[in-house]
C-alpha cells in the first residue's frame, strides 16, 4: 500500500499569483501601483533629463542667469508639472486601492507598494521640513542625499515583488536600485547628478513598471 503525502498548494499558488494580481486588476487594466510608479518615473525622469541636457549644452551659468531663455524656462517648469501629475496619479491610486470600488489585489501587493509610496512621500516631506529656513547651500546638499533614500525604498519594493512573483529580472532591477543609491551618494554635487537621476527614474522606475504592464497584456 503506497502512502501519498498531500502538499499544501495554497501558499505556493498565492505567491505565484502575486505578480499577476499586481500587474493586472479588474478587467485587465494595469494595477494602480504600477501606473503610479510609471507616472513618477516617467514625468520626473523626462523633467530631469531635459534640464540636465540643457545644462550640459549651455552651461549651469545660463540656467542660473536672470534671463535663461525660453528653453530653460520651459524645462524649469517641468518639475512643477510633474508634481501635479504625480499628485493626481497618487489620488487615483488611493481611490482604486482603498475606495469603495477598489480593485482586487493581494494583501502582499497592497502592503508592499502602499508602504513604499507612503515612505517616499514621508521622506520628501521630512527633508523639506528639515531644510526650511536653512541656507541655500545646506538645502542643496540635503536634496542630494534624498535621492539615494528614494532609490533604496523602491529597490526594496522591487525586491519583494521579484521574490514573490518569481521574476529574476526584477531582482536585477532591485540590486541596480541599491547600487544606484550608493552611486548617487558618491557623485553628489557634481554636473552628472541630474542626468544620473533621470537615468535612474526612467530605467529603474518607469521602465520596469511599463514592462510588467505589457507582460500582463501579452
Measured distance between the N- and C-terminal CA atoms of the chain, rounded to whole angstroms: 46
Position 3 in a domain: no
Is 14 part of any domain? no
Quote the CA–CA distance of 77 and 183 in Å, as a whole number.
27
The mean per-residue pLDDT over the stretch 120-149 comes to 80
**How far is residue 158 CA from its own chain's centroid?**
10
Of the pLDDT bands very low, low, confident and very high (cuts 50, 70, 90), residue 64 is: low
SS3 call for 25:
strand
Average pLDDT over residues 75-100: 80
- Does a structural domain hold residue 9? no
Taking only the tens place, the pLDDT of each residue in 13-59 is 565 555 555 544 443 344 677 788 888 888 888 988 888 888 787 77
Cell of 17: 499569483
SS3 29: strand
Q: Domain range spanning residue 89?
A: 19-217
Question: Of 119, 115, 109, nearest to 18 (Cα)?
Answer: 109
110: in domain: yes
Total number of domains in the chain: 1
DSSP-derived letter for residue 206 is: I
The three grid cell numbers given for residue 191, joined into one nine-digit string: 554636473
Mean pLDDT of 141-165: 85
According to the model, what pLDDT value does residue 183 have? 92
- Cβ contacts of residue 202 below 8 Å, gap of 6+? 41, 42, 45, 46, 49
**Any domain includes 6:** no
Q: For 204, which DSSP code?
A: I
Check: CB of residue 195 under 8 Å from CB of residue 49: yes
Closest to 68 measured CA to CA, from 58, 56, 53: 58
Assigned domain for 67 exists: yes
Separation of alpha carbons 166 and 183, rounded Å: 27
Per the domain annotation, does 132 fall within a domain?
yes
Nearby residues of 10 by Cβ (< 8 Å), 6 or more positions away? none
Residue 32 included in any domain: yes
Amino acid at each position: 500500500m503506497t502512502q501519498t503525502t498531500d502538499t499544501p498548494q495554497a501558499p505556493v499558488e498565492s505567491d505565484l499569483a502575486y505578480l499577476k494580481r499586481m500587474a493586472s486588476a479588474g478587467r485587465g487594466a494595469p494595477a494602480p501601483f504600477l501606473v503610479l510608479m510609471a507616472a513618477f518615473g516617467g514625468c520626473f525622469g523626462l523633467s530631469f533629463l531635459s534640464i540636465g541636457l540643457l545644462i550640459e549644452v549651455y552651461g549651469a551659468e545660463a540656467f542660473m542667469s536672470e534671463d535663461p531663455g525660453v528653453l530653460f524656462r520651459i524645462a524649469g517648469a517641468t518639475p512643477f508639472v510633474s508634481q501635479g501629475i504625480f499628485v493626481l496619479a497618487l489620488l487615483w491610486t488611493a481611490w482604486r486601492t482603498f475606495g469603495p470600488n477598489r480593485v482586487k489585489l493581494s494583501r502582499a501587493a497592497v502592503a508592499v507598494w502602499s508602504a513604499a509610496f507612503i515612505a517616499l512621500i514621508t521622506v520628501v516631506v521630512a527633508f523639506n521640513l528639515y531644510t526650511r529656513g536653512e541656507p541655500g547651500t545646506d538645502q542643496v546638499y540635503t536634496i542630494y542625499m534624498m535621492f539615494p533614500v528614494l532609490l533604496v525604498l523602491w529597490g526594496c519594493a522591487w525586491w519583494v515583488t521579484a521574490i514573490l512573483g518569481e521574476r529574476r529580472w526584477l531582482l536585477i532591477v532591485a540590486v541596480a536600485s541599491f547600487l544606484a543609491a550608493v552611486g548617487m551618494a558618491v557623485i553628489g554635487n557634481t554636473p552628472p547628478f541630474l542626468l544620473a537621476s533621470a537615468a535612474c527614474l526612467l530605467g529603474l522606475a518607469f521602465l520596469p513598471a511599463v514592462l510588467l504592464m505589457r507582460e500582463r497584456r501579452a
